[in-house]
């Protein structure tokens, strides 16, 4: 993936740090280099503790485990969704515990085609850190390349990262409610609400996670797995740009809000937009699980 002007040289000074995604071969060259931090974001919504268990069995050497429920989410109060954001300061404190500083180059990966790693990518940029990339192909690609794994847990020195100007945009429930009130939205105008969930959940036919089925009125479905090729790698930037252009029509990325079930896989769509050169889309962090916490909010079903 081509680097943008934010890219920084690696420790050998002969290659830029990738912007958005990184290939296995590139990560292998950076392994063990000063300032490189690897976060293992493996998770399974259906099995609490699965990611931590898999991490203990083996991970990319030097990787630190980042738990979706505890490290990449804040406290739930029954009205803010299943994976609410922590405060930027709390997340920055956790990053410092993992050894991050202002110049750290961070690689995040999972075993779910980037579904959870993209959340870490988004959050790092949310607190102002630009040097972060998702491992394309994830854990499976690393294993397929025949590269080594480790069962040792690193003990990083305390970092000094601080919250900086955010590189991501957040949309609150009130902005989403305005879209729902005006549904169906005009085909070429207004804010576009993208729902990254699978089509069956979007349509309300097979809700397996949340207690209420359906979608936010006015939303358009763009399943996050559509960002991938048949091998589980991100599609080329131009292909992603062409596909999203069909949805955006004349809108700019700044007229797009992305949501999912709890603000996690929506980050995959935002990453895909980023790779396509369409930066600026907002995340609705609470997403469907926050939306349905208030029974007064409208619900739609069907395609």
Instruction: Report yes or no on 246 lying in a domain.
Output: yes
pTM: 0.94
Please indicate, yes or no, whether residues 204 and 112 belong to a single structural domain of this protein: no
| In a domain? residue 1 | no
Q: Residue ranges of the chain with pLDDT lower than 50?
A: 1-14
Which ranges of the chain does DSSP label H, i.e. alpha helix? 24-30, 50-57, 88-97, 117-126, 138-144, 173-182, 199-202, 237-248, 266-275, 287-291
Note down the domain range covering 81: 20-144
Helix residue ranges per DSSP H, 31-87: 50-57
CATH number at residue 254: 3.40.250.10
Residues 117 and 26 in one domain: yes
pLDDT tens by residue, 177-191: 999 998 775 555 689
- Write down the number of H helices and E strands in the chain: 10, 10
Domain membership flag for residue 154: no
Percent of the chain with pLDDT strictly greater than 70: 93
Nearest-angstrom CA–CA distance, 160 and 134: 22
| pLDDT for position 190 | 87
Structural domain includes residue 12: no
Residue-wise pLDDT tens digits, 67-80: 999 999 999 999 99
Same domain, 115 and 194: no
Residue of 58, 83, 88 whose CA lies nearest to 70: 83
Of the residues 129, 144, 159, which one is the last residue of a structural domain?
144
One domain for residues 209 and 261: yes
pLDDT value, residue 65: 98
Q: How many Cα atoms sit within 13 Å of 112 on the Cβ side? A: 19
**Domains identified in the chain, total number:** 2
Active-site residues, by number, are 260
Decide: 299 and 214 in contact? Cβ < 8 Å.
yes
The pLDDT value recorded for residue 183 is 78
The confidence score (pLDDT) of residue 4 equals 39
Residue 196 in contact with residue 249, Cβ under 8 Å?
no
What pLDDT is recorded for position 2?
32
């Amino acid at each position: 993936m081509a680097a943008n002007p934010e890219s920084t040289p690696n420790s050998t000074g002969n290659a830029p740090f990738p912007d958005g995604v990184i290939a296995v071969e590139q990560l292998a060259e950076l392994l063990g280099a000063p300032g490189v931090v690897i976060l293992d974001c493996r998770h399974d919504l259906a099995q609490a503790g699965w990611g931590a268990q898999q991490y203990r069995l083996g991970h990319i050497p030097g990787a630190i485990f980042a738990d979706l429920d505890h490290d990449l989410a804040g406290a739930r109060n029954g009205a803010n969704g299943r994976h609410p954001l922590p405060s930027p300061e709390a997340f920055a404190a956790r990053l410092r515990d993992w050894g991050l500083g202002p110049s750290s180059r961070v690689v995040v990966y999972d075993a779910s085609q980037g579904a959870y790693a993209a959340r870490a990518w988004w959050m790092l940029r949310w607190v102002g850190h630009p040097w972060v990339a998702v491992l394309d192909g994830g854990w499976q690609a690393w294993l397929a390349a025949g590269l080594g794994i480790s069962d040792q847990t690193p003990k990083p020195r305390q970092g000094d990262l601080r919250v900086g100007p955010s590189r991501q945009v957040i949309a609150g429930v009130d902005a989403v409610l305005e879209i729902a009130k005006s549904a169906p939205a005009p085909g070429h105008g207004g804010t576009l609400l993208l729902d990254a969930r699978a089509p069956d959940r979007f349509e309300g036919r097979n809700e397996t996670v949340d207690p209420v089925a359906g979608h936010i009125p006015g939303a358009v479905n763009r399943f996050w797995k559509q960002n991938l090729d048949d091998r589980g790698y991100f599609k080329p930037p131009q292909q992603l740009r062409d596909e999203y252009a069909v949805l955006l029509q004349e809108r700019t990325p700044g007229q797009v809000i992305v949501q999912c079930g709890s603000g996690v896989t929506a980050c995959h769509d935002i990453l895909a937009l980023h790779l396509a050169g369409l930066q600026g889309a907002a995340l609705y962090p609470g997403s469907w699980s926050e939306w349905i916490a208030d029974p007064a909010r409208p619900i739609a079903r069907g395609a």
